[in-house]
Structure 1
Amino acid sequence: MDRNNIIGLVLIFAIFAGSFYLIKPNEQEVQKEQRLQDSLKAVKEGRIFQDTIAAAKPAEVLDSAALAKPFGATKVGQEQTVALENDVLKIEISTKGGKVKSVQLKGETNFDGSPLYLLEGDNNKFGFLFNAAGQHINTNDLFFTVSNNTANAATLRLNYSADQYIEYNYTLENSHNLGLQVNAVGIQHLIDQQKKTIALNWDATLLQKEQNIKSEREKSGMFYKTADNSIDHLSETSDDEEKIDKSKVEWIAFKQHFFSSILSSKQGFENANLVSKHATNDNVVKLYNATGELAFNTQSNNHYEFNFFFGPNKYKTLKAEGKSYEKIINMGWGPMGWINRFLTVPLFDLLDGFHLSYGIVILVLTLLLKGLMFPLTRKSYISMAKMRVLKPQLDEIKEKVGDDNPMLLQQEQMKLYKQAGVNPLGGCLPMLLQMPFTLAFFFFFPNLFELRGESFLWMKDLSTYDAPITFSPIFGINHISLMCILMTATTLLTTWYNNATTGAGANNQMKYIGYIMPLLFFFMLNSFPSGLNYYYFLGAVFTFLTQVIIRQSIDDNKILAKLEDNKKNPKVQKKSSFQSRLEEMMRQQQANQQQNKK
């Protein structure tokens, strides 16, 4: 690119950035939007119309016939809550349904600074489903009574009679786990003797917790583990439903990007049916429903043991549970997943132990990985240097053979490579070996809980995009990420320097792909976490510096002299079967071309 082209690109970017700045909303529009968001938040928290709705709802009155039905007396009552609390969780248990009504994760907030709840009010439903004396019973809708409550334990009972009841025993450990033991006493006499199972239903509506709700939806999904240690999940990008009837399900996870609510059963769920739906409401992320069957003994009392995990999707926290919970974090597939689990995570945890800023941790991590890749990088540049010094000879061959005989041209070029001891793919293979590491971070940083809420430089939260420039949406874009701009500009600079110093593709229009790709990636990565763009920016800076250092250390004249010496004193190398077949194919094609000319 000449000076005019560079000036043109700079002007285009300046106009582009200036236009976004000029069309950003004024202060009045910003205030109007803030008032709208405040109103939505008030509705979400139930501070508007709550009293009016409660007053307008008529009290339910049951006649004597309804009271005589199974659990009839428990269909009406006054909802109360009991609180359980430890160092990390604050949980409310409701007498209506005996369910977990709300779960607050201490020390964490939503993107707007409000307290973070994993489960909230009526957005969570949990109960047993069965038929008793011809009546359909859903314990989620019935009123329990509290028989015991301490700071870390609670017992609630759903009474049918003095010796017939369903009892929930909650125990909050000093961790992210809430134990639940269920005793079904005497109710086997109410249920059809032919029934061998009882159903359990868990339903949750997950509300927005992150700034970028689109990304939050794409990274939220329902996961499960079966008795054969297989871990799978429903689609994260579309509505999905799955029935698991060939194996018991050990646990079910309602994952929401950086947080999860996980229900495990000691007995295991049979014939589990899982449903995940995308939400249409602006502040709702996903709607989950899980139904499973539990073995039920109609000859004696039944006992079930469950455990709730309420906590962050932090790799080492989930792994410490010993139930393979950590596999709900998307570390990438194949080699990328191996790199993240066995290299990146241990390195990150080691650096995290020094209590450095996460911006510094990412910097050191990038330096370590670039240093690890340096031998391959140097080998790649040396190979490209060999191709560069051979280019005049390749041009002579092309001029001598002409463009009308591509097969002969390829043969002569391969002959030159062989004589000089040059592998034409030597510059590509080391780069290809580095690609899995580059792609591995594409999965690692967007799912790294540690970056959530952590600031660095002007970036307020490394787990989401930085947006110093905002404006009314244009083609779905409503902001410009400064870190993404820096990453793109550095990548363009590296591409320009590489083309200028190697002379690669001087007469080939394909070289412009090197300029087009960073621009395309800008639009793709503009809404990605600033931590990821920061890593790619550092990678581009170190790549540029590496190119400059290696380029200064390489002497083209010495390389050319070595290649000429190889041509004069060729080393005998055994041909591989692939090379032999390739040469034979080329000879046959050349013979066919000559025959066609005759």
Structure 2
Amino acid sequence: MEKRVLGAFGLIILTWIGYYYIIYPMYAPQRPAPVDRTVPQQQPGDFATGDDPASAYPPGEAPEQSFDAPRSFDATPDAAVTEPGRTPPPHIEDRPRQDLAADSWDRSERVLFLPPAEGAPAPRDIVVENQYFRGVINTMGGVITSWKLKGYRGIGGDEVELVPPDREAGPDIVLTTERGPRSTRALRFTADRDEVVLGPGQSSGSVTLTADAPGGLTITKAFVINRDDYAVDLQVRIDGGQGLALGSKYYLRWGGGINVTERDWDQDLYAFRGFASLNDTVIDEDLGTEFEDPRPETTGETHWVGVRSKYFFTAMVPVDRKARGYRLNGRPVQRPQYDDRQIAAELSMGLASPLTDNFLLYLGPVHYNTLESYGYGLEGAVDLGWTIIQPISRITLISLVWLHQFITNYGVVIIVLSIIVKILLFPLTHKSMKATQGMAALQPKMESLKEKHKNDSTKLNQEMMKLYRDAGVNPLGGCLPLLLQMPILIALYTIFSSTIELRDAPFIGWIQDLSLRDPYYVLPVLMAATMLIQSKMTMKDPRQAMFVYIMPAVLFFIMMNLPSGLILYWTMINVLTIVQQAFQNRFFPVQPAK
């Protein structure tokens, strides 16, 4: 029996090691191989008036058509990109900037750029701000160039920046025409104000950007900022354009993806995913791990599309009517010292001029209750684990958030949660301990049967089962509490690894973030020590001594890099089990088998 148990645990350990060192690296972000990033040249027959990105600018302002060249929207390359005070963390200052030609990497067809109207104003930044965020919208294309969340700190201690510093995110409008897709990214919009900064007593504010393009086309984007909201209302108006021979649809495009915000760069990058809600089903796609051909549009009633990192999420939601489809594409991006991933998301909308569409743009944390409150099913982007685990994850998350209303320290919340779980499982644990004690009491008789039927395994098993029945002992009864704990452990691991609640949540002293590993491994050592004490209290067979010492050591190495909040919970469960075992041994001692 002991050999079989040791063999089973050995198999589990080998499986874990195989996953960690073989399977995980296969799907972890890898440094991509060099690829040809040559931008397609303008072909004869395309718009002579200047659909080429270079011709979208007055003389002397055309950007270089190189993937890694600095982005030049006006005479000062970075003026439209970096607002005052926006300094990337030191280790990413060397990121190469990209120009407009990189914006069509995710499409199989070439995207050309509608040129700005003659005499259009120079690009400038519009600041939008409420109590949750400070954003920057640039009038070149009317796209977001910065979006900082005030309540969260990122790499280097600065406010979390959701827009990658080397590219705009969107929302860009791509029109279909008889001559192919045309982006409005190069249009120079006129804004009706310089900023929207909501102060006390101001519930909302708006900024409207308007641009004229060839063919009699007028594009209007109106951004509405609400004081107590991560989301922004966007109204898109398309008028005219008969000279462009518009097609039957347009795309609202979020091309730049989402920024890496966590100190653990690889773990954050590993969590990058694209999402869409198609026909009331949430589509979850792992993108950007390798170079691949652009994916075609997926058609069907689309409720929203978005991109998420480990803790943050950007989404576009059509409000008045559903989108006709969506497109998600990703690619790895090679940096001098590290890897990155870029995921582009598009909504396909029906097009008729004149047209007015309303959208909701969410740029904020992966917070279940917040996402659920919008009523569009955005909470489907929250990773709650396997389908069978999701109800437990949801209940556990609700419990943590509810307790946090009364207890400000999430570490103490976890301790209280472990006490509650232990109380709920007390009757089952009591029966389990009695079963373990019963097995210990039967040990002499079991050894006698083994000696008596050592050459007849069938007879031995029959006699053993009869012995268990006569003594009223279930040999598997001792495993029940552990089996019941496993779903909770998996749920907690999922919650601590992918929801915002425990991000940057301190406990005591050296533990300043319960979503990260213990930097000094104090909690893993305590967990292993409590497991050792617990095992010694229940060990009755001296032959199990090696097993008692091996398992805590093995689990220490398996769990040492898991979130410290999870280790704290498991350590507390061990401590409470030790207390219950001491109580059991004192008041319900082992009775010798008759």
Distance 1:212 1:165, change over 3 A: same
Match of 1:272? 326
Q: 2:219·2:238 contact (CA, 8 Å) conserved in 1?
A: yes
1:180 aligns with 2:231: no
Tell me the TM-score normalized by structure 1: 0.73
In the TM superposition, residue 73 of structure 1 has moved relative to its aligned partner by: 3.1
| Deviation for aligned residue 1:160 | 2.5
Which stretch shifts more, 155-164 or 324-333?
A: 155-164
Pair 1:507 & 2:543 matched: yes
Among candidates 330, 338, 349, match of residue 294 of structure 1: 349
SS in 1 for 2:348: strand
Aligned partner of 1:542 in structure 2 is: 576
Q: Indicate the structure with greater helix content.
A: 1
1:19-38 counterparts in 2 under 5 A? Answer: none
Distance 1:553 1:277 in 2: 63
- Mapped contact 1:76–1:143 kept (Cα < 8 A): yes
> In the alignment, is residue 395 of structure 1 matched against residue 447 of structure 2?
yes
Equivalent residue, structure 2, for 1:406:
457
Q: Alpha carbons of 1:535 and 1:292: their partners in 2 closer, same or farther (altered >3 Å)?
A: same
Select 1:486's aligned residue among 526, 539, 554: 526
TM alignment of 1:227-266, pairs within 5 A = 228-235=279-286, 238-239=289-290, 245-266=298-319
Partner of 1:464: 516
User: Which residue is equivalent to 1:223?
Assistant: 275
Q: Distance in 2 between the 1:49 and 1:439 partners?
A: 40
Report the Cα offset of residue 215 of structure 1.
1.8
CA distance in 2, matches of 1:520, 1:206: 37
Q: Distance in 2 between matches of 1:208 and 1:99?
A: 20
The equivalent of 1:157 in structure 2 is 210
Identify which range, 373-382 or 418-427, moves more after superposition: 418-427
Partner residue of 1:495?
535
Structure 1 residues 74 and 173, CA gap change in structure 2 (3 angstroms): farther
Question: Are residues 79 and 519 of structure 1, via their aligned partners in 2, closer, same or farther at CA, if it must alter by over 3 Å?
Answer: farther
Q: Report the alpha carbon displacement of residue 80 of structure 1 after superposing the two structures with TM.
A: 0.3
Aligned match of 1:525: 559
Q: Does 1:110 align with 2:154?
A: yes
Contact 1:111 1:211 in 2 (8 A): yes
Q: How many angstroms apart in 1 are the aligned matches of 2:210 and 2:297?
A: 31
Counterpart CA distance in 2 for 1:279 and 1:497 is: 54
Mapped contact 1:383–1:426 kept (Cα < 8 A): yes
Distance 2:307 2:301 in 1: 18
1:136 CA drift (Å):
5.1
Q: Distance in 2 between matches of 1:233 and 1:516?
A: 39
Distance 1:148 1:40 in 2: 28
Match of 2:387, as an amino acid?
G
* Alignment of structure 1 residues 65-464 onto 2, 5 Å: 71=115, 73=117, 78-126=122-170, 127-130=172-175, 134=179, 137-148=182-193, 151=196, 152-160=205-213, 164-174=217-227, 175-192=229-246, 195-226=247-278, 228-235=279-286, 238-239=289-290, 245-266=298-319, 267-281=321-335, 282=337, 285-297=340-352, 300-341=353-394, 343-401=395-453, 403-457=454-508, 458-464=510-516
2:255 is paired with a residue of what secondary structure? Answer: strand
Output one character per residue of 1:249-273: Cα deviation in whole Å (capped at 9) or x when no partner: 2112211111111111233333422
Instruction: Judge conservation of contact 1:84–1:91 (CA < 8 Å) in 2.
Output: yes
Give me the whole-angstrom Cα distance separating, in 2, the residues matched to 1:159 and 1:349: 49
Contact 1:454 1:460 in 2 (8 A): yes
Deviating above 6 A after TM superposition, structure 1's stretches of 4 or more consecutive aligned residues are none
How many aligned positions are there? 480
The 1-side partners of 2:492 and 2:114 are apart by 57
Counterpart code for 2:150? K
Which structure: larger Rg? 1
Displacement of 1:367 in angstroms is 0.6
How many percent identity over aligned positions?
26
SS at match of 2:218: strand
The letter of the residue matching 1:325 is: L
Q: Cα distance 1:79–1:522, how it changes in 2: closer, same or farther (>3 A)?
A: farther
Aligned counterparts of 2:180 and 2:496: Cα–Cα separation in 1: 51
For residues 95-136 of structure 1, give each alpha carbon's deviation from its aligned partner in whole angstroms, at most 9, with x where no partner exists.
111111111111221142112211245422432223557475
How far did residue 188 of structure 1 move?
4.4
The answer (yes or no) to whether the contact 1:386–1:422 under 8 Å persists in 2 is yes
Q: Relative to 1, partners in 2 of residues 1:215 and 1:526: Cα closer, same or farther, differing over 3 Å? A: farther
Matched position secondary structure for 1:287: strand
Cα offset, 1:370, TM superposition? 1.1
Does structure 1 retain, via aligned residues, the 8 Å contact 2:534–2:578?
yes
Which sits farther off after the overlay, 200-209 or 407-416? 200-209
In structure 1, C-alpha distance between the alignment counterparts of 2:447 and 2:431, rounded to whole Å:
24
Question: Given residue 80 of structure 1, which amino acid in structure 2 is its aligned partner?
Answer: R
**Most deviating of 92-101 and 417-426:** 417-426
Distance 1:304 1:515, change over 3 A: farther
1:268-324 Cα distance to aligned partner (Å, 9 max, x none) = 333422123445435665311123421112xx4122221111111122222222222
Which runs of no fewer than 5 residues in structure 1 stay unpaired?
1-38, 55-68, 469-480, 565-598
Contact 1:187–1:301 (CA under 8 A) maintained in structure 2: no
Partner of 2:6: none
Worse-superposed segment, 204-213 or 390-399: 204-213
- Assess if the C-alpha contact under 8 Å between 2:268 and 2:310 holds in 1: yes
Tell me the CA shift for residue 137 of structure 1. 2.2
Range moving further from structure 2, 383-392 or 432-441: 432-441
Counterpart code for 1:347: S
Relative distance call for 1:321 and 1:285 in structure 2 (3 A) is farther
Cα separation, 2, equivalents of 1:253 and 1:490: 44
Cα pair 2:214 2:244 within 8 Å, conserved: no
**Change beyond 3 A, Cα 1:453–1:422:** closer
Deviation at 1:372, TM superposition (A): 0.9
* Displacement of 1:449: 1.7
1:213–1:285 Cα contact (<8 Å) kept: no
Distance 2:410 2:114 in 1: 58
Residues 414, 242 of structure 1: alpha-carbon distance in 2 compared, 3 angstrom cutoff = farther
Alpha-carbon deviation of 1:74?
Answer: 6.4
Q: Which residue identity lines up with residue 254 of structure 2 in the other structure?
A: W
Q: Gaps (5+ residues) in structure 2?
A: 1-86, 100-112, 197-204
Provide closer, same or farther for how the CA distance between residues 134 and 317 of structure 1 changes in structure 2, counting only shifts above 3 A: closer
Does the C-alpha gap of structure 1 residues 82 and 230 become closer, same or farther in structure 2, counting only changes over 3 Å? same
CA contact (8 A) 2:327 2:347 kept: yes
User: For 1:196, what is the secondary structure of its paired residue?
Assistant: strand
What is the CA–CA distance in structure 1 between the aligned matches of 2:221 and 2:364, rounded to whole Å? Answer: 22
In 1: Cα distance, 2:296 partner to 2:548 partner? 47
Separation in structure 1 between the aligned mates of residue 256 and residue 555 of structure 2, nearest angstrom: 36
Residue identity in the other structure for 1:116: V
Distance 1:442 1:114 in 2: 27
